[in-house]
């Protein structure tokens, strides 16, 4: 399939991943409200058809995002955007997902355009780049290992004062991740490392754990973001408590 060239505005993110799955399953992971909740949003509503508007729901942030559908071709493309109307960053925005079979695997290409180009937006832009990298790694892990299981999603968020330079060794190295304590092994396999955030494989709980860093308004935040695909449910309250304790240790190390 030859990619469609669409008009783009502002700064643009372009990235891709290869997954051992079919193009149809990869497309459904974006377009089916039940499937996208298995790796990205907490819930979704609506129908993936041109002219329709889906809703992506992020419960932890009490946020509902309208998702206008521009294109939805099964097994090939899922495109959302604001049309010619300005998006939240002043430009029309577009998220283009193109899917293709490639030597027995499926390639998912993501192009997200419409971001501000001024330097004041650099940190937020890099945060979005990091977020998409971890999200695609989570999608790959789910589709390759647990495609028939439903996700349990938990996130614990705490305000903290830090610089990325301070945080980097505490996220990026097994020695630095000692603050995880009994939550999970500090030397757990790294699935993605963006330079500011890290995604770890949590094999004993059929899960991944994102070590997150972002801002909510001017306030820097730290978060542990758990996606688990267990056959049997676990004690959510206990896991939340373990994650909160680990974040308390991390904040102590940051001073």
Kindly state the helix (H) or strand (E) to which residue 215 belongs, with its residue range.
Answer: strand 207-216
Residue 8 pLDDT exceeds 90: no
Q: What pLDDT is attached to residue 82? A: 80
* Confidence label for 83 from pLDDT (cuts 50, 70 and 90): confident
- Give the Cα separation of 52 and 75 in Å (integer): 19
β-partners of residue 68 are 53
Residue 3 pLDDT exceeds 60: no
Residue 27 pLDDT exceeds 80: yes
Residue 140 pLDDT exceeds 60: yes
Which tokens hold the place of 87? 């998006």
The whole-number average pLDDT for the span 101-127 is 95
Place domain 11-145 in its CATH homologous superfamily. Answer: START domain (3.30.530.20)
The CATH number fitting domain 152-254, selected from 3.30.530.20, 1.10.10.10, 3.40.190.10, 3.30.450.40: 3.30.530.20
pTM of the full predicted structure?
0.95
The whole-number average pLDDT for the span 81-98 is 82
Q: What pLDDT is attached to residue 76? A: 97
Helices 122-145 and 23-31: crossing angle, nearest 10°? Answer: 130
Question: CB within 8 A of 25, min separation 6: which ones?
Answer: 106, 143, 147
Q: What is the pLDDT of residues 170-199, one digit of tens each?
A: 999 999 999 999 999 999 999 999 999 999
Largest CA distance in the chain: 52
Domains 11-145 and 152-254 share a fold: yes
Q: Report domain extents, the chain.
A: 11-145, 152-254
| pLDDT > 70 in the chain, percent | 98
Instruction: Give exposure, 62-75, as e/b (b: 16+ Cβ within 10 Å).
Output: eeeeebbbbbbbeb
Q: What pLDDT is attached to residue 223? A: 98
């Amino acid at each position: 399939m030859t990619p469609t060239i669409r008009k783009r505005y502002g700064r643009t993110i372009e990235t891709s991943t290869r997954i051992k799955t079919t193009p149809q399953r990869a497309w459904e992971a974006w377009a089916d409200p039940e499937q996208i909740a298995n790796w990205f949003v907490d819930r979704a509503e609506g129908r993936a058809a041109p002219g329709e508007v889906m809703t992506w729901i992020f419960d932890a942030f009490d946020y509902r995002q309208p998702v206008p559908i521009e294109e939805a071709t099964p097994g090939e493309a899922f495109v959302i955007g604001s049309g010619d109307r300005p998006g939240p960053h002043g430009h029309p925005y577009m998220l283009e997902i193109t899917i293709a079979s490639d030597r027995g695997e499926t390639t998912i290409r993501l192009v997200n355009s419409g971001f501000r180009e001024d330097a004041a937006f650099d940190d937020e832009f890099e945060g979005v780049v990091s977020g998409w990298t971890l999200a695609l790694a989570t999608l790959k892990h789910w589709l390759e290992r647990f495609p028939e299981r439903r996700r349990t999603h938990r996130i614990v968020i705490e305000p903290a004062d830090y610089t990325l330079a301070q945080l980097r060794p505490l996220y990026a190295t097994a020695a630095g991740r000692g603050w995880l304590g009994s939550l999970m092994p500090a030397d757990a396999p790294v699935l993605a490392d963006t330079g500011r955030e890290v995604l770890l494989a949590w094999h004993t709980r059929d899960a991944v754990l994102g070590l997150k860093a972002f801002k909510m308004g001017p306030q820097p935040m730290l978060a542990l973001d758990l996606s688990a695909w267990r056959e049997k449910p676990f004690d959510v309250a206990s896991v939340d408590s373990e994650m909160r304790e680990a974040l308390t240790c991390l904040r102590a190390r940051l001073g």
